[in-house]
């Protein structure tokens, strides 16, 4: 029996892969499954669009993760009947002035050095792809292999697929302690009921025995009670504010992901247009701010002025689980039977299928597969 702490996209993806391999597991989630960062995300799967110079070590994992997505989305839909709105229209990265164009050129060169498929476009060529782009767009990079998915539909589908394959999700159940005996993780203590600050709040506490425990508690992973220092992942919350506008689904003014200098825009099949996201170091605070939302609206308007006419239908904020080097923390720890799958930062949706496969395979075989090596917590010393 494997206990997975956290029912976000990462915990659910691991659970589903274990279930497919015939390994029993229980996901313990203190709220509702999939309602953390995984609900807040934009669902972009863009290793090409987001590649940064410092992330070159991470790029092979991002690309391998991206390669799994088309089949993964189809498998999820086949297993559950849930359409996860997998879109293959690509992404446009746009420049609005000379400085932006210089930065875009730098990114384009970096992408080409990595052998990525990207095309440099003039402003006019970009507007042929997206006619509602501002006249101020002077240059763009088209990245056809950047796809996106409806992350909210994905977590709903994953929970259904996992349960359908025999997995157990215990919602409104908080892990309040990790049980370690003779240097080995043997289970967790959980408090059942509406999540509170600790187990001394009147909730019943019970122990779930486990052969292995996987910590997939997102931005909260570092603070999990009972986690020994040697296995504590250096993960912190990085806040992202976002909003959604409503387009006419039959005549959307944006049809593919657009990365502008101050906002990204992500269309959904149902007519929603997501606009994101701030990147803020404010601890566990998820307050929406006037400045955050104003900045996103301005950033969207600069790239696509027609956004101004659209109804604003939702605003929200989530907490990215961010590690010290922005790469995920995956694999076994110095405590036998204690595994980590956290720290996915801006790429947790993209990396969910590969994380699920690597961790499940690792648990079954007793060691991380080659593609996941080098991402363990020990790299932080
Ligand atoms: P979460 O989804 O946060 O799940 C962790 C779960 O653990 C939570 O449900 C929590 O309740 C539970 N938990 C915590 N402590 C306990 C406990 N003690 N006991 C029981 N349960 C516990 N990634 C992409 O790939 N593409 C994107 O476009 C993208 N856009 C983003 C936009 C925003 C605004 C944000 C905030 C993130 C975005 N991300 C994106 C990043 C992505 O959302 C995260 O990397 C990913 O969701 C992390 O998944 P997770 O399962 O680790 O965390
Ligand atoms: N990957 C997009 C974000 O984290 O905002």
| Centroid of ligand 2 to alpha carbon of 277 (angstroms) | 6
Residue 82 lies in a domain: no
**44 and 189: one domain?**
yes
Ligand nearest to the CA of 218: 1
Does residue 33 sit in the same domain as residue 157?
yes
**Residue 217 CA to ligand 1 centre (angstroms):** 8
Tell me whether residue 271 is in a domain. yes
Q: Which band of pLDDT confidence, cut at 50, 70 and 90, is reported for residue 317?
A: very high
| 343 Cβ closer than 6 Å to some ligand 1 atom | no
Q: Nearest C-alpha to atom 2 of ligand 2 is from which residue?
A: 346
375 to 60, 94, 316: CA distances (angstroms): 12, 32, 30
Report whether residue 372 contacts ligand 1, using a CB cutoff of 6 Å: no
Separation between Cα atoms, residue 262 and residue 292, nearest integer Å = 11
Residue 83 is assigned to a structural domain of this protein: no
Tokens 């509702």, located at residue:
32
What residues make up the domain containing 33? Answer: 2-77+152-234+324-380
Q: How confident is the model at residue 203 (pLDDT cuts 50, 70, 90)?
A: confident
Say yes or no: 242 and 222 in one domain.
no
pLDDT reading at 141 higher than 80: yes
Q: Which of 278, 302, 323 is the last residue of a domain?
A: 323
Q: Rounded mean pLDDT of the chain?
A: 95
The first and second tokens of residue 256, run together, are 């593919």
> Which range has the worst mean pLDDT, 199-208, 235-244, 358-367?
199-208
Q: Is 346 in the pocket of ligand 2 (CB under 6 A)?
A: yes
CATH classification at residue 166 = 3.50.50.60
In the predicted model, is pLDDT for residue 35 greater than 60?
Answer: yes
From the list 331, 354, 327, the residue with the least C-alpha distance to 341 is: 331
Is pTM beyond 0.95? Reply is yes
Q: Is a pLDDT exceeding 80 seen at residue 58?
A: yes
23 and 73 share one domain: yes
For 88-135, write each residue's pLDDT tens digit. Answer: 999 999 999 999 999 999 999 988 988 889 999 999 999 999 999 999
Q: Which ligand is nearest to the CA of 315?
A: 1
What integer is the mean pLDDT of 287-304?
98
Predicted pLDDT of residue 241: 98
For the chain, what is the domain count? 2
Same domain? For 63 and 53 the reply is: yes
Q: What percent of the chain has pLDDT over 90?
A: 91
- Both 352 and 331 in one domain: the answer is yes
pLDDT of residue 231: 96
What is the 8-class DSSP label of residue 192?
E
Q: Are 330 and 177 in contact (CB under 8 A)?
A: no
Q: Is residue 312 situated within a structural domain? A: yes
pLDDT at 194: 65
> Using 50, 70 and 90 to split pLDDT, how confident is the model at 51?
low
Task: Calculate the alpha carbon distances from 89 to 149, 180, 331 in Å.
Answer: 11, 48, 34
63 within domain boundaries: yes
Minimum mean pLDDT range among 10-24, 47-61, 211-225: 47-61
* CB distance 148 to ligand 2 below 6 Å: no
Q: Which atom of ligand 2 sits closest to the CA of residue 240?
A: 5
Do residue 225 and residue 348 come from a single domain?
A: yes
């Amino acid at each position: 029996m494997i206990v997975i702490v956290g029912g976000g996209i990462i915990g659910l993806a691991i659970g589903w892969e274990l279930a497919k391999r015939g390994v029993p597991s229980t996901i313990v989630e203190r709220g509702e499954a999939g309602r953390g960062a995984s609900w807040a995300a934009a669902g972009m799967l863009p290793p090409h669009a987001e590649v940064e110079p410092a992330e070159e070590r991470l790029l092979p994992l991002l690309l391998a993760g991206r390669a799994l997505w088309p089949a993964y989305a189809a498998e999820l839909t086949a297993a559950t009947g849930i359409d996860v709105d997998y879109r293959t229209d690509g992404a446009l990265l746009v420049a609005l002035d000379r400085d932006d164009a210089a930065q875009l050129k730098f990114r384009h060169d970096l992408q080409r050095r990595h052998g990525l498929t990207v095309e440099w476009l003039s402003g006019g060529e970009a507007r042929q792809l997206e006619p509602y782009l501002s006249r101020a767009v002077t240059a763009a990079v088209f990245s056809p292999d950047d796809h996106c998915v409806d992350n909210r539909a994905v977590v709903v589908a994953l929970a259904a697929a996992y349960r359908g394959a025999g997995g157990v999700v215990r919602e409104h159940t908080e892990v309040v302690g990790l049980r370690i005996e003779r240097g080995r993780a043997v289970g967790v203590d959980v408090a059942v009921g509406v999540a509170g600050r600790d187990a001394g709040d009147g909730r019943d506490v019970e122990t779930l025995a486990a052969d292995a425990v996987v910590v997939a508690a997102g931005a909260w992973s570092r603070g999990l009670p009972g986690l020994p220092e040697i296995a504590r992942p250096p993960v912190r919350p990085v806040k992202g504010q976002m909003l959604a506008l409503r387009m006419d689904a039959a005549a959307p003014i944006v049809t593919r992901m657009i990365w502008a200098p101050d906002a990204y825009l992500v269309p959904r099949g149902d007519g929603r247009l997501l606009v994101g996201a701030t990147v803020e170091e404010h601890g566990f605070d998820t307050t929406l701010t006037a400045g955050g939302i104003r900045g996103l609206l301005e950033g969207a308007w600069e790239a696509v002025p027609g956004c101004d006419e659209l109804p604003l239908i939702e605003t929200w904020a989530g907490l990215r689980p961010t590690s010290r080097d922005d790469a995920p923390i995956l694999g076994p720890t110095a405590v036998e039977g204690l595994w980590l799958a956290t720290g996915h930062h801006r790429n947790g949706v993209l990396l969910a299928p590969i994380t699920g496969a690597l961790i499940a395979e690792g648990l079954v075989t007793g060691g991380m597969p080659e593609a996941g090596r080098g991402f363990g917590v020990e790299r932080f010393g």
